[in-house]
Chains A and B, each alone.
Chain A
């Protein structure tokens, strides 16, 4: 059975994905049936992959420690069992990434909006891991930690940096608000490059506007250019 599905971002209540509730994170065990679909979250270390997943599974933000190796969760989406893999971002575990991605139907590439390098790493380091994913794998690019930036500052200040070189370390401030280092347009551009890399037709793929957005696992709010969005995953019956 081949399950066709798509990631759909629908303008409704923020982060509906996160709202879906599970009684508990189900660890793998003998009783679990084999998952139908695999979804992998990739991204540099410390961008908040595990936190995003916690927000999704348990609707809360908690302090996490650096993921070792990887972790995964099973979730029931209607008749389908979905396995969601949280990967370790540390360089040390990089080699395992392609194994996690093997046969994946969806990949969420995560970066830290306050850290330009984390976006660059997606392309340099993580994109190649997805070679083992399915050919029609779909991609979403998610910028995390949007709560650490000040959206008001952004509006008045059309930033120029971030197009190429990583910017110089921001001046030490007392405020936790730091300047946003990654513009959403860059993520959208990256999305286009990913499609080309995967030889997917841009016109038939899901539009970048819907597959790239910024969020915060901590505050569970969405900052996107157009409106509050959410991820919904829809599975047309195969």
Chain B
């Protein structure tokens, strides 16, 4: 299918022009505004007024009204007519002579100067170099002399300004600026009449076929070339566009951007200058003249005149789009850009791009479609609305009118092909994702996000959760039923949560966990809920669903409380006491929570420690009461208990001790006694009842861990005493005692130990202890001696320093008198007063005694 670019509309009918005179033919035409001039072979010029009308149907018609006709009186055909509207003059070529006539009355301009003889052809410079608006430049081919002359045509005279010679006889001419484009007998050439520079274009046999030289724009010409081509050539002799392919018998050509129109014997052909393709063919017999006048393309047979009316560009483009010729439509639109106001073009171009996108979308050419949608700044909703039910019911969107595409919806487009539907949906997903990340979704984020959510849910797409977890504008009311329909309950919960409806979210999730609803999105939904609750800021909700979670599994459920971040404002309602109160039904959870408090958060509160210890104890006891007791579990439970008893010092010892009274948990008993500082009892239990000597030693180390050395020694001595005590039967503990001594020699005072030891023990037995003790004592002595020496020397140094700072020596002699009693010194002993004044010791003492404040102000020292 071709474009309908032009419509052929009759302008002047045969009857109006020549009536029934058969031999009269049209030779040339000229159109200037509403004025149409027709030159005939019987030397007449006819002047018509051409009025344009639009019929009610929107068609353009012309009505011609004859104004005047004038016989030139030469009996020769009128070859050419050119109007110079600014001068109100018409230039007429007839009988090889150019005459200038008045445009209105067609009378020849009176003065004789307005006439050029010996003319083959002439042309008017549409790009004049002369600035005078009341002057027309004209290029004239002279009949015989192989020359081209340039004339200036004024209102009443013509004046030749230049004459250039050509290598061959020219037969057609066109003028643009200084450039003459000439058809010579064997070739085309460009001639600059100002500089004389010439440029050969290409060979053409003008004698064989009539050449065509047509200016199509600034310094660009259209020429008939061999093989029926329309060649484009610039003044520089370069072709910037590919040629158009006319027929061999081409008669005339005209330009109406972006088309090149050509006339041959049977047809008018329309080629696009943009892609050089044939766009339209109009059948037209007996065509004679094809010319464009100020953008209006006129066509004449020998008997009648027609106008080729271009159809509006938009209509042409719509035709192309209707034929799915997207590229051509865009090329046409973009090519016509410069002929359309910028803002209007932008709107039109955008719409065409969008339409093009939809056409390609319909053909499932998604890449191209996307590109066109993007360039055309398509409202995303326009695309979304193609997919049934995707736009939220609350959306205010209505499709653009007139519609951008022919599809009712996706089903219409896919014609029931589910694979196509799926591909379209995948495309929309990717398109919407991109739209979200750009400004494409501005103003309709709700629609976009909701549509995306629906697509994700439907396609079981993994990004559904990402969408809901991130910042989104999905409409809850619209999305919820959709998600329910597709069993995306977890996602729906997330959406509820995003919209601040945590209760609804939890309710939904609980039902999924309980198996009332089916949604396999998360297999660990229960853990997720627990985690969710542990972060949930609404305490009411936490309490509400904690019960459920704990019933489900205490160990996990308690994480609601243990994982919760501690914050002050919640502390009041979510205080540990309150939690424990709630948890009391759930034994395991209570233990875990207390462990979290005591061991994890190290809360220093007696109640928790005692509670935990009691719970541990109960656990141990309950395990022990089973028969047989599961050894592994008992060991573990006891270890926990023991650790707590040892590490904590906050629990109520007496309470526990009472509970332990009648049990076999001796180690724990010992620990508790230790806490009460009842070390003898503890050690007694360990040594005599448990007979666990390493434990006893460990006990000593543990109980004295934070105390000084003396305390530790006392404990070890106590242990030794227990070993050697009177209630020890026989030599049962001798070995233990020896081991203790030998191993912890430093912990004992040897002298004390030796007194304690029975006489009968051999020296050999105690050798490691004694050696150790001796060595220790020697070492201690040496060390203290060294220390003493060091202290002395330090003292000496200090003294030396002191003297040094006191100044010079104090001289005492028999001749010197005491300042206080003024007697001489008889002994070297003296007291120095401040300032180094020596006085008698007794005088100084006297003075001190006498002083009212009884304060010793002098610093007595001895000097020798």
Q: How far is the CB of A130 from chain B (nearest CB, A)?
A: 14
Is B274 within 8 A of A28, CB to CB?
yes
Q: Is B225 part of the binding interface, using a Cβ–Cβ cutoff of 8 Å?
A: yes
Q: Return chain B residues, CB-CB under 8 Å to A224.
A: none
Q: How far is the CB of B370 from chain A (nearest CB, A)?
A: 13
Other-chain residue from B201, B229, B331 in contact with A69 (beta carbon distance below 8 A)? B229
Q: How far is the CA of A189 from the CA of B337 in the complex (A)?
A: 50
Is A29 within 8 A of B274, CB to CB?
yes
Is B335 within 8 A of A99, CB to CB?
no
Is B227 within 8 A of A92, CB to CB?
yes
Interface-lining segment among B239-247, B440-448, B744-752:
B239-247
Contacts A92-B226, A95-B203, A95-B226 known; A28 to B337 CB distance under 8 Å? no
Is B245 within 8 A of A69, CB to CB?
yes
- Chain A positions 55 through 79: 1 when the CB is less than 8 Å from some CB of chain B, otherwise 0: 0000000000000111110000000
Q: Return chain B residues, CB-CB under 8 Å to A99.
A: 201-202, 231, 233, 237-239
Q: How far is the CA of A30 from the CA of B333 in the complex (A)?
A: 10
Q: Return chain B residues, CB-CB under 8 Å to A90.
A: 227
> In chain A, residues 19-41, which have Cβ atoms closer than 8 Å to a Cβ of chain B?
24, 27-31, 34
Is A103 within 8 A of B334, CB to CB?
no
Is A27 within 8 A of B233, CB to CB?
no
Other-chain residue from B226, B243, B338 in contact with A30 (beta carbon distance below 8 A)? B338
Q: Return chain B residues, CB-CB under 8 Å to A117.
A: none
Q: A34: nearest residue on chain B (CB-CB)?
A: B240
Other-chain residue from B200, B226, B238, B242 in contact with A70 (beta carbon distance below 8 A)? B242
Q: Is A179 part of the binding interface, using a Cβ–Cβ cutoff of 8 Å?
A: no
Is A27 within 8 A of B237, CB to CB?
no
Is A68 within 8 A of B338, CB to CB?
no
Contacts A27-B275, A95-B226, A99-B201 known; A69 to B242 CB distance under 8 Å? yes
Q: How far is the CA of A98 from the CA of B200 in the complex (A)?
A: 9
Is B233 within 8 A of A28, CB to CB?
no
Q: How far is the CB of B61 from chain A (nearest CB, A)?
A: 31
Q: How far is the CA of A72 from the CA of B334 in the complex (A)?
A: 19
The size of the chain B interface, using a CB distance under 8 A, is 34
- Chain B positions 734 through 767: 1 when the CB is less than 8 Å from some CB of chain A, otherwise 0: 0000000000000000000000000000000000
Q: How far is the CB of B352 from chain A (nearest CB, A)?
A: 14
Q: Return chain A residues, CB-CB under 8 Å to B229.
A: 68-69, 93, 96
Q: Return chain B residues, CB-CB under 8 Å to A68.
A: 227, 229, 243, 245
Q: How far is the CA of A132 from the CA of B203 in the complex (A)?
A: 15
Q: Is B258 part of the binding interface, using a Cβ–Cβ cutoff of 8 Å?
A: yes
Q: Is A100 part of the binding interface, using a Cβ–Cβ cutoff of 8 Å?
A: yes
Q: How far is the CA of A34 from the CA of B218 in the complex (A)?
A: 14
Q: Return chain B residues, CB-CB under 8 Å to A93.
A: 225-227, 229
Is B239 within 8 A of A31, CB to CB?
no
Q: How far is the CB of A126 from chain B (nearest CB, A)?
A: 15
Q: How far is the CB of B660 from chain A (nearest CB, A)?
A: 86
Is B227 within 8 A of A30, CB to CB?
no
Q: Is B204 part of the binding interface, using a Cβ–Cβ cutoff of 8 Å?
A: yes
Q: How far is the CA of A69 from the CA of B201 in the complex (A)?
A: 14
Contacts A68-B245, A96-B225 known; A30 to B335 CB distance under 8 Å? yes
Q: Return chain B residues, CB-CB under 8 Å to A132.
A: 237
Subset of 24 A-B contacts with CB under 8 Å: A27-B274, A28-B273, A28-B275, A29-B274, A29-B275, A30-B258, A30-B336, A31-B334, A31-B335, A34-B240, A69-B227, A69-B243, A69-B245, A70-B242, A85-B239, A85-B242, A92-B226, A93-B225, A95-B203, A95-B226, A99-B201, A99-B231, A99-B233, A103-B236
Leading 8 A-B pairs by shortest Cβ distance: A69-B243, A27-B275, A29-B335, A95-B203, A69-B229, A29-B274, A95-B202, A92-B227
- The chain A residues found within 8 Å of chain B, CB to CB, are 24, 27-31, 34, 68-72, 85, 90, 92-93, 95-96, 98-100, 102-103, 132
Given contacts A29-B334, A30-B334, 18 further A-B contacts (CB under 8 A): A27-B242, A28-B242, A28-B273, A30-B336, A31-B337, A69-B231, A69-B242, A69-B245, A70-B243, A71-B276, A90-B227, A92-B227, A95-B203, A95-B225, A95-B226, A96-B231, A100-B239, A103-B236
